[in-house]
Amino acid sequence: MSYHRPDNLEGALDILAATGARILAGGTDIYPALNGQKLRGVVLDITAIPEISGISENGSGRRIGATTTWAEVAKADLPAGFGALQEAARVIGSRQVQNAGSVGGNLCNASPAADGVPPLLVLDADVEISAKDGVRRVALRDFITGVRQVDLQPQEIVTGLHIAKDNAAGVAAFEKFGAREYLVISISMVAVRIEMSGGLIRNAAISVGSASPVARRLERLEHAMKGREINTLESWRGDVGAELAKVLEPISDIRADADFRLQASEELVMRALSRAILVANG
Amino acid sequence: MSLIAFSVNGTAREVEVDPGKRLSAVLREDLGLLGTKVGCNAGDCGACTVLVGGAVVNACLTPVAQVAGCDIKTIEGLHETRLQAAFLRFGAAQCGICTPAMLVAASALLAESPHPDPEEVRAALGGILCRCTGYAKIVKAVCRANDPLPAKAAPEAGAAIGAGVDRLDGVAKVTGEEMYGADDWPADVALVRALRSPHHRAGFSFGDIEGWRQAHPGVLTVLTAADIPGDNLFGTIPAFVDQPALADGHVRFKGEAVALIVVEPEATDAFDLRGFPVVWTPQKPILDVEAAQVPDAPQLHEDRKGNLLLAGKVRHGDVAARLAGSQFVASAKVETAYVEHAYIEPEAGLAWMDGDVLVIKACTQAPVMDQEATATILDLPIGRVRIIPSATGGGFGAKLDLSVQPLIGLAAIRTGRPCAMAFSRGESMASTTKRHPARMQARIGCDADGRITAMDFTGGFNTGAYASWGPTVANRVPVHASGPYRMQAYSSEARAIHTNGPSAGAFRGFGVPQAAIIQEILFDDLALASGIDRLEFRLGNAFRDGDKSQTGQVLEAVGIVECLEALRPRWLAAHKENAEFNTRNEKVKRGIGVASCWYGCGNTSLPNPSTIRAGITPKGKLVLHQGAMDIGQGANTVITQIFADALGVRLADISLIGPDTMLTPDGGKTSASRQTYVTGKAAELAGRALRGKILTRCNMGDGAQLSLQGGAVVAKESGHEARLDPHALSVDENGYAIAAEESYDPPTKPLDVNGQGIPYAVYGYGAQLAEVEVDMVLGKVKVRHIQAAHDVGRVINPILAEGQIEGGIAQGLGLALMEEYIPGRTENLHDYLIPTFGDMPEIKSHLIEKPDPEGPFGAKGLGEHVLIPTAPAILNAIRDATGARITQLPALPHRVLRAIREVQDV
């Protein structure tokens, strides 16, 4: 095998262009998939590149470097709008996985059950993609195109995420549901972010994972919720359920059946909203 | 290859390795640090946890390139810490395979939080699985690591029994020095891998194997069924030996081995077997017991018509008439899943030739059975196979069967090299035995006063492709399906039926845990119907001394009433608390359930002797040859405690020689909850015999006190003292100046055509209550609290006994709530879920002592009993909370919610 671990992005892009290497970050998805065998082929390890790691802030918002680990996300000092992302960071896999697994890797692996995706969807994150001929950005919702499928060309590397300041306003909450505690693949999970004023919802963002090939935002519901009084939350359940039935395409598998995923998602949306409202009200 | 430098436990190291090599493999193979274990190579079990820069990571997911310049800490970096001492003292290590990871992760937590609370410990260690302990003692040890420890128990002569002494083999488990099947392989080892069937049922033929071998440098040899010199068949019960070590032209389950590839360690690329010359002809498989029994179903084994391996039956009385005359009759159908043992150590071992003797050092529960079967397969005289078991990282039944032994043995003979093999997690799960999936139906009746009238039970047990311990399940279930309860009439039949699933064999309880589920569900039905408190209903029907079991055996030393009564205070209090909680809460409901167990210790109406040898060397060293495999349950400690008190010396005076077919007499298999009772009884007899010989030589009576002093045995009685100098005596063929060897075989009688007889000489009893909280909208069950009362006859070691209870409950909880093995789909530890730190309730144990006249010092078995009541107690608690009666296991959230909706819709 040949293994490259450059310490700068330019070098990494050169190697990628020259070799078509497989990109490795925290290894928490690549190694398990080897089924105990050795890592083979040409590998580009991007974890030694400082400019694509860590969380930074500028006037317009925040950038999360692609190789930022979930443990770093969990510990970072971030506004309440990142609450769902930070809660997800604490329940992904195990502490061991959180210490190695990266935010960018979670997106590129594109598992329908990726816990990192719904919280980033409610932040309307843009994915920063670098290649030798420049950098492009694509909305996360467009980046993941299917089960294990992403909008990434062979010579491109996901180098970060951008979250505009306005998209991180308000408070957020994450609900993960699995059949056991710790180290569990979600049956369903939900992220919500809400902005409130005067007891009314001003803006809401809601997304659901593990209940369709790609985690989904619920735009129509979000739109319909604008201006609603938060103390009428329980009366929205019917709307939530109806929207989920239209948007989600849950499967039946060993963890749960499709019908249950729909029902559970509805309840998780209600719980996440309820908790976010509670947080917002201090 | 690259030169990579980092520090390990404060020492600078450099390795010239492939940068993508897993850190776990570098630590173990390149640096010889074997304390870091590999349980799954997928980040699912956490056994390889090490610290990188102070943070926990899975070494199996870490390319070594990423630790360049980092500080790494492994178990070898912990030296005599308070934490390790606490693990030993509190019994936090059982088999010990997860212990290094637990200790390393806990050391990182304690560095930040010296006195953590249980929740912190669970969160910090939650990424590490343990299959033995139920986690309770690990949490306790970490929480209290920096508090003063309880004093070490150092009992005086005659007081070992009942003392919570530290596990005698425990130090190596907390230092990481314990050597398991995959550890301690020599430098010149050749590695063995099996080619396994990707199909549930198929014919196959090989192409040009020699051409493939030549195209793959480093492949020493390829071995197939044609290379097996002896009978290519093994099994666990002589009449049912049916499984080839390597399949010959036809496979009966997915994962069956068909060829072995033996390679140089640096040639493991050849283990990518995608191009191996084998042609499969898949056939339509039979995957459930219904399909196996249709008239035209293909037969898995020619001589087993209708794919029936064995039907076990027990019956007495006129069941139909009794049921017809009952005030209340309840009936149910219950279905359980394949359950995987999921020990954290996959099967592994090393074989080599020592002169003309084949030596095999592998994990196992049954060294002598391994020896006999391997000799048969490899056509060797029994004396030319020596089994030296490695430490065994959990077994729970599946390591009773052969795994690597004949394969590495064959490879070692054919290559002349030491040959080693470690199953991958997927290989372990696909190829080894499981708990039988059961499809059971039963009816039970009672009269107006709640007295059971009759029970009618039938169960189809999917025994998979090969017999393994299926006959034992078929025989054990009908004996036990009544639970520890009186019945006026009884009919019970368990059928073990072949399918193309993995072989179902022994798993803690041999089918009894499944049967207990349906019986205890029906008892709740009847208690509710008759308006009797559910605990009192069970007490009213529980066996008492002098009652006859369903096999007509008169029972003695029956402790079930005491067990149920021990639960009553919590039972009553919890009812009140739950009623109050449930009036205040709609979305979550609490409930409580109770269930019992009984379990016969040892083989069912078959001989299963154990032999213990002990002697004093000319230099005055007292040696105990103890051949019972300690797979974490504590046989090394418990049997030594029994022996010490029988002989009358201090525990500390005994040197232990553990299992080795050349050095220890046969202690039988670690199975059927028999070691404390059967080998313990042999230890008692051997201790007493040795004592008798010593006292005779000293001319002392049995009241004398013995001690070992300065190479001599000293006997004292009422002011008299006598010294026996072993140096002065001639030695026997084992090198002992004075020695004893005693055997014990439980007195049983065969079962007749109606299953009447004396299947076991000793039974243990128990009962558990479970308190649950059910999420009424999401269907998730949280077990909050379990109280477990177990009649062990006589407590030999209370800490080890509690450890068995807590670990059994964890497995029972998994059986109830999450464990479902689906062949071809769940061969990993993220799709197959076992309980983690976060799933376990608080557990309170009550150790009940109703001495058995047959057991050593009154002791009974415990290991399997502890698992049996847990699942039914949880299911009955779910029903108490929600009204929903769960009859398909595991009670995954979607199943629980469906059942709740069904009762709400009525």
Delimit the domains of chain B by residue range. 2-77, 82-152, 190-284+346-430, 512-603+756-905, 610-744
Chain A residue closest in CA terms to B128: A94
Q: Is the pLDDT of residue A1 over 80?
A: no
Say yes or no: A100 contacts chain B, CB-CB below 8 A. yes
* CATH code for residues B190-284+346-430: 3.30.365.10
Proportion of chain B above pLDDT 70, given as a percent: 100
A83 touches chain B (CB under 8 A): no
Q: What is the mean pLDDT of residues A207-233?
A: 96
Q: What percent of chain A has pLDDT over 70?
A: 100
Does residue B599 sit in helix, strand or coil? strand
| Contact between residue A233 and residue B799 where contact means Cβ atoms under 8 Å apart | no
| pLDDT of B271 | 85
The hierarchical CATH code for the domain B512-603+756-905 is 3.30.365.10
Q: Which residues of B touch A264 (CB under 8 A)?
A: 778, 893
* pLDDT confidence of residue A225: 95
Residues in chain A with CB shorter than 8 Å from the CB of B191 are none
Q: Per the CB < 8 Å rule, is B66 touching A93? A: no
pLDDT for the residue B269:
84
pLDDT of residue B475: 97
CA distance A178 to A60: 36
A42-45 and B588-600 strand pairing = unpaired
Q: B514 — phi, psi (to 5°)? A: -65, -45
Q: Which of B19, B56, B779 sits opposite A5 (nearest CB)?
A: B19
The per-residue pLDDT for B268 is: 85
Query: What is the DSSP track for B472-519?
Result: HHHHHHHHHTT-SB--SEEEEEEEEEE-SSPPB---SSTTHHHHHHHH
In this predicted structure, what is the pLDDT of residue B312? Answer: 98
CB-CB neighbours of B875 under 10 Å: 30
| This prediction's pTM | 0.98
SS3 B634: coil
Structure tokens at B587: 């979305």
- Of the options 2.60.290.11, 3.10.20.30, 3.30.2270.10, 3.90.660.10, the CATH number for the domain spanning B2-77: 3.10.20.30
Architecture of domain A170-280 in this structure: 2-Layer Sandwich (3.30)
> What whole-number distance in Å separates Cα of residue B332 and Cα of residue B443?
7
Q: What is the pLDDT of residue A258?
A: 96
Are A32 and B46 a contacting pair at CB < 8 A? no
Closest approach of A253 to chain B, Cα-based (Å): 10
Measured from the Cβ of residue B727, the count of other Cβ atoms closer than 10 Å reads 13
Mean pLDDT by 10 residues, chain B (906 residues): 97 98 98 98 98 98 98 97 98 98 98 98 98 98 97 96 98 98 97 98 98 96 98 96 98 98 91 93 97 96 97 98 98 98 98 98 98 98 98 98 98 98 98 98 98 98 98 98 98 98 98 98 98 98 98 98 98 98 97 98 96 98 98 98 98 97 97 97 98 96 95 94 95 97 98 98 98 98 98 98 98 98 97 98 98 98 98 98 98 98 88
Q: Is the ipTM of this complex over 0.90?
A: yes
Instruction: Let me know if the fold of B512-603+756-905 is the same as that of B610-744.
Output: yes
pLDDT digit string, tens, across residues B578-594: 999 999 999 999 999 99
* CB contact (8 A) between residue A183 and residue B830: yes
**pLDDT, position B151:** 96
Cβ contact A145:A34 at 8 Å:
no
Is A260 within 8 Å of B822 when comparing Cβ atoms?
no
We find that the CATH architecture of domain B82-152 is: Orthogonal Bundle (1.10)
pLDDT at position A176 is 98
Let me know if domain A50-166 sits in CATH 3.40.50.300.
Answer: no
**Residue A282 pLDDT more than 90?**
no
Alpha-carbon gap, residue B640 to B656, rounded angstroms: 8
What does the domain layout of chain A look like in residue ranges? 50-166, 170-280
Contact residues on chain A for B128, CB-CB shorter than 8 A: 94
Q: Mind listing the pLDDT tens digit for each residue in A138-170? A: 999 999 999 999 999 999 999 999 999 999 999
Instruction: For residue B73, give the H/E element and its range.
Output: strand B71-73
Pick the CATH number of B610-744 from 3.30.365.10, 3.40.50.2300, 1.20.1560.10, 3.40.220.10: 3.30.365.10
Chain B nearest CA to A221, separation (Å): 22
pLDDT, averaged across chain A: 97
User: Three-state SS string across chain A, please?
Assistant: CEEECCCCHHHHHHHHHHHCCEEECCCCCHHHHCCCCCCCCEEEECCCCHHHCCEEEECCEEEEECCCEHHHHHHCCCCHHHHHHHHHHHHCCCHHHHHHCEHHHHHHHCCCCCCCHHHHHCCCCEEEEEECCEEEEEEHHHHEEECCEECCCCCCEEEEEEEEHHHHCCEEEEEEECCCCCCCCCCEEEEEEEEEECCEEEEEEEEEECCCCCCEECHHHHHHHCCCEHHHHHHHHHHHHHHHHHHCCCCCCCCCCHHHHHHHHHHHHHHHHHHHHHHHCC
**Whole-angstrom distance, CA of residue B116 vs CA of residue B130:** 20
Q: Is A81 left (phi over 0), alpha (psi -120 to 50) or beta?
A: alpha
pLDDT, position B99:
98
pLDDT tens-digit profile of B7-50?
Answer: 999 999 999 999 999 999 999 999 999 999 999 999 999 999 99
